[in-house]
A and B are shown apart, each in its own frame.
Chain A
Amino acid sequence: MRDAVVSLKNVCKSFNATVAVDDVSFSVQPGETFGLLGPNGAGKTTLIRMIMDILRPDSGTVEVLGHKMTAADKKFIGYLPEERGLYARQKVLSMLEYLALLRGLSRERGLANALSWLERLDMMAVKDKRISELSKGNQQKIQLVATLVADPEIIILDEPFSGLDPINMRTVSTLIRELAAAGKTVFLSAHQMSVVETLCQRVFMINRGKAVLYGEIDEIKKQYSENAVLVKSSADYDKCSLVLRHVSHNGSQKVYLHDSGAQQNFLAWLVSNGADVESFERATTPLEEIFIKVVEERT
C-alpha cells in the first residue's frame, strides 16, 4: 500500500460539552475515491475541517501528504465546503483568478484553468457577472470551479450534491468520475449513501462522532449481505434442498440459502434442472441499510 495522502489517528474533537468526533482513525490512499458517510450532524464536516487545518483536534493526529499540514500543502488541496460562500460583489472570473493565485498558480495559468472549467461546465456566459447576480445552482457550480481551478491533487468535496437538481447531480457525478480517472484523490463526504456507493471504492462511516464502518465497499457489502441471490427463472425453488425460503423482489425472487457458500451449488442446481435462467445475481444490501443495521446493533 502506498503512503496515505490523508491519515487520521485517534482523533477527538469536542465543542464545549458536545463530542463531535470521538477516537476516529482512517486513511485515504492516493488516487482513490474515498467516501465519508454519515447522517447530518454525524461529525463529517468537523473531520474535514480538521483535515484542512481549519480546526485543530483536541487529541490524536491528522496528517496530510505524510505530515502535519503546513500552509504550503494547502495549494495541493481543493476544498468544497458544505457552507458554500463566495465574494458576492466580485466578478466570477476575477474571483477564480484570485483563488488560483492564492494557490500558487501564475495569473495566466489561473485564468486559463478558470476559463477551461467554465467552458467545461457550460458557464462561460456568466464569467463577467458578479457572484451575487447568479442563480443558486450556478453559484454552486462556480464554487466547484473554485475548488478545482488550481488543479489540486487532493479534492475534498463536502456534500457536493446538496442543493443540486438531478441534471446537475449527474454532471457533478460524471465530473467526480473524470477526476478519479485522471488520477486525482477524491475525498467525498455525503449523506446520500446510494450516490456515494456508486462513486467510491472505500468508505468511512461515522455516526455521532464515532466510527461505524471502514473499508472497501465490496467487502463491507459482502460482510453485511444476506445469504441470498436474486433470480429470475422458471424453476420451482421449493424443490431445491439448498433453499431456505424465497420472496418476490422487484419482479425477481429473492432466494435465501442455507449455507453461505451455496450460491454456486444453487446455480448448478438450476442449470441441471433445465430451468430457463433469465438473471442470477448475488443479493447485496444497500450501504444505507447496512449503516442502519450496524448503528441499531450498537445502540
Chain B
Amino acid sequence: MKQILYIIRREFLMTVNRKAYVVSVLVVPLIILLFGLVIKYSVSKYESAMDRATIGIVDETKMIDFKLADTAQQPSPENTDLLADKRHYKLERYESVDAGISDVKQGKLAALYVVAADYLQSGKVRVYIKESWRVTSGKSPGLENFQTLLRSSLLQSKVTSDTLNRVVQPAQLEELALGRDDSIAPVKGKWQKMNSFFAPFGLSFILIIAIFISTGYLLQSTVEEKENRVIEVMLSTVTPDQLLWGKVLGLAGAALLQVVLYLILFSLSNSYGLIAADLRPRILMLSLAFTIAGYLLFAGILVAIGIVGGKLRESSQVASVWTFIAMSPFWFLSILVDSPNGTIARILSYFPLTSPLTMIFRLSFTVVPTMDVVISLTLLVISAYASVRAAAKIFRAASLLYGKRPTLPEIFRWMREA
C-alpha cells in the first residue's frame, strides 16, 4: 500500500511540475476569465453609453416630425436579442446629404439615413455608414430608433396616442422563468440569461477537459516509462497493479487539483457576477462522480494504448479516436439542450464512452430522472472497473514488448491469461 502512495505522490508531483500542466491549470482559465472580463466591461460600457452616437436624417419627403426625435432615442425594450445594439441614439436632422456624408466620414455620425422623396410609395431609404463600421447585430446603427421615428411621424395624426404607442412598442414584456423546483421568478438580466446556458456548459466543459488533459498525461507518462526502459526497474520493485494504480490515482490527483482550481475560479466568477451558474451540491457531486468514473474508464483505455503502442505519437493518434467518441455528445448538443431527457440523450447516457459528457450536460440543463442517473452511473462504474482491470493485464504482458505491434487476438489472450 505504501508503495502505491509513493507512486501516487511521484506521479502527482512530476505532473503538476510540468510546464504544460501549470499553463493549462492557471493560464488558460485566467485567459478565459480575462476574456470574460473584457466582454463584460465592453458590454457594460456599451450599455451605459448615453448619447454616444448620433444618426443624421435627410428627409426629402418633409414628412418626418423631428419633434418626435427625442422619444425615439431609447433602445427598443422589445429587443431581447442578446447581441442587439442597445445604445442611445441622438437623431439629428440634416438638410444636405453631402454634409451628412462628410460627418459620417469624420465619425461625427454613426449613420446617415436619407429618406427618398418617393418614400411613401417606394419605402426607399438610403443609409450611409463607414465601411469599417460593424454592429454586432449586423443592422445599421440606430435603425430601430430611425424606424420608431418614421412610424411615429407616419401615424401621429391618424391614430390615438395609445395606439401610436402600441404600434411603436406593441408589447411591454414581463418574462417569467419556471424553475426546476416549480418556482416562478422574473427572468434574470440578459447577461445572466446568456450565462444560464453558458455557465453549466462551461462547467461541463471544464470537467470534461480535466478528464482528457489528465488522461493525456497518463498516456504520456506510460509511454515515457516504456520508452525510457525504466518500466523494467519499476516492475522489479513493485507489481504491475501497484504501478498502474499509482499512476492512475496520482494523475487523478493532478486532474482533481485542476478541477478544484477551475471550480474556485468558477465560483469566484459566480460571486463577482461574471457568471450566474446554478451550482447545486447534488448536481456538483453527481457531475464529479461522472468525471471521476469517466476518468478511470479513459485512464484504463489510454494506459493500454500507451503500453501497447510504446511511441507517443502513434499512441496519441490511437487515443484521439477514443477521445473523439467521448466528445461525440457535442454533436448532439442542440438535441441535448432541447430534449435533455429524450431518447438520444438516454442512449448517449447509457453508453459508457459517451455517458460522462452527456450526463454532465443533462445534469446542468434539467432534472434528470433518478433511474437514468443510477443506470448510467452503474454502467459507467462497471466499465471503468473493467477498463482498469484489463489495462493492468495488458500492462503486465506488454510492458516489455518492444518493436512488435501485438495483434488484437494477442491482446485478448493477455487479458484472459494474465
A146 to B232 alpha-carbon distance, docked (Å)? 13
Docked-complex contact A87 and B228, CB < 8 angstroms: yes
Docked-complex contact B228 and A77, CB < 8 angstroms: no
Dominant secondary structure of chain B at its interface with chain A: helix
Given contacts A49-B400, A55-B400, contact A102 B228 (CB under 8 A): no
Docked-complex contact A79 and B230, CB < 8 angstroms: no
A77 to B231 alpha-carbon distance, docked (Å)? 16
Docked-complex contact B235 and A54, CB < 8 angstroms: yes
User: Of B32-40, B144-152, B236-244, B307-315, which binds chain A?
Assistant: B236-244
Q: Mark B378-418, 1 if CB is under 8 A from A, else 0.
A: 00000000000000000000011000000000000000001
**Residues of chain B with a CB closer than 8 A to A53's CB:** 239
CB distance from B250 to the nearest CB of A (A): 13
Chain A stretch 83-126: residues in CB contact (< 8 A) with chain B: 83-90, 98-99, 101-104
Partner of A85, one of B6, B7, B228: B228
Q: Mark B1-34, 1 if CB is under 8 A from A, else 0.
A: 0110011001000100000000000000000000
When C-beta atoms are compared, the residue in chain B nearest to A77 turns out to be: B236
Docked-complex contact B236 and A86, CB < 8 angstroms: no
The reply on B229 being an interface residue by CB < 8 A is yes
CB distance from A102 to the nearest CB of B (A): 5
When C-beta atoms are compared, the residue in chain B nearest to A58 turns out to be: B417
Docked-complex contact B14 and A146, CB < 8 angstroms: no
Docked-complex contact B14 and A89, CB < 8 angstroms: yes
A101 to B236 alpha-carbon distance, docked (Å)? 14
Using a Cβ–Cβ cut-off of 8 Å, how many residues does chain B contribute to the interface with A? 23
CB distance from A213 to the nearest CB of B (A): 27
Docked-complex contact A74 and B231, CB < 8 angstroms: no
A281 to B15 alpha-carbon distance, docked (Å)? 64
The reply on A39 being an interface residue by CB < 8 A is no
Using a Cβ–Cβ cut-off of 8 Å, how many residues does chain A contribute to the interface with B? 28
Docked-complex contact A52 and B235, CB < 8 angstroms: yes
A189 to B3 alpha-carbon distance, docked (Å)? 28
The reply on B184 being an interface residue by CB < 8 A is no
**Residues of chain A with a CB closer than 8 A to B237's CB:** 74-75, 99, 102-103
CB distance from B232 to the nearest CB of A (A): 4
The reply on A31 being an interface residue by CB < 8 A is no
**Residues of chain B with a CB closer than 8 A to A143's CB:** 233
When C-beta atoms are compared, the residue in chain A nearest to B17 turns out to be: A89
A-B CB pair tally, cutoff 8 Å: 62
Given contacts A71-B238, A102-B6, contact A86 B400 (CB under 8 A): no
**Residues of chain B with a CB closer than 8 A to A101's CB:** 6
When C-beta atoms are compared, the residue in chain B nearest to A88 turns out to be: B228
Dominant secondary structure of chain A at its interface with chain B: loop
A71 to B1 alpha-carbon distance, docked (Å)? 10
**Residues of chain B with a CB closer than 8 A to A77's CB:** 236
A52 to B224 alpha-carbon distance, docked (Å)? 22
**Residues of chain B with a CB closer than 8 A to A104's CB:** 2
When C-beta atoms are compared, the residue in chain A nearest to B234 turns out to be: A102
**Residues of chain A with a CB closer than 8 A to B14's CB:** 89-90
Docked-complex contact A83 and B229, CB < 8 angstroms: yes
Docked-complex contact A85 and B236, CB < 8 angstroms: no
**Residues of chain B with a CB closer than 8 A to A86's CB:** 228, 230, 233
Docked-complex contact A102 and B400, CB < 8 angstroms: no
The reply on A81 being an interface residue by CB < 8 A is yes
When C-beta atoms are compared, the residue in chain A nearest to B18 turns out to be: A89
Docked-complex contact B236 and A102, CB < 8 angstroms: no
**Residues of chain A with a CB closer than 8 A to B225's CB:** 87
Docked-complex contact B236 and A71, CB < 8 angstroms: no
Chain B stretch 230-268: residues in CB contact (< 8 A) with chain A: 230-233, 235-239, 242
Docked-complex contact A146 and B233, CB < 8 angstroms: yes
Docked-complex contact A87 and B230, CB < 8 angstroms: yes
Docked-complex contact B229 and A84, CB < 8 angstroms: yes
**Residues of chain A with a CB closer than 8 A to B236's CB:** 52, 54, 74, 77, 79, 81
Docked-complex contact B3 and A85, CB < 8 angstroms: no
Docked-complex contact B231 and A85, CB < 8 angstroms: yes
**A-B pairs with the 5 shortest C-beta distances?**
A85-B229, A85-B230, A79-B236, A81-B232, A83-B229
15 pairs of residues in contact across A and B, judged by CB atoms under 8 Å: A49-B232, A52-B236, A53-B239, A54-B236, A81-B229, A81-B236, A84-B229, A85-B228, A85-B232, A85-B233, A86-B233, A88-B224, A98-B6, A99-B233, A102-B6
Known: A87-B230, A98-B10. 19 other contacts (CB 8 A): A49-B400, A52-B235, A53-B239, A74-B238, A74-B239, A75-B237, A79-B233, A81-B229, A81-B236, A83-B400, A85-B230, A87-B225, A87-B228, A88-B228, A101-B6, A102-B238, A104-B2, A143-B233, A146-B233
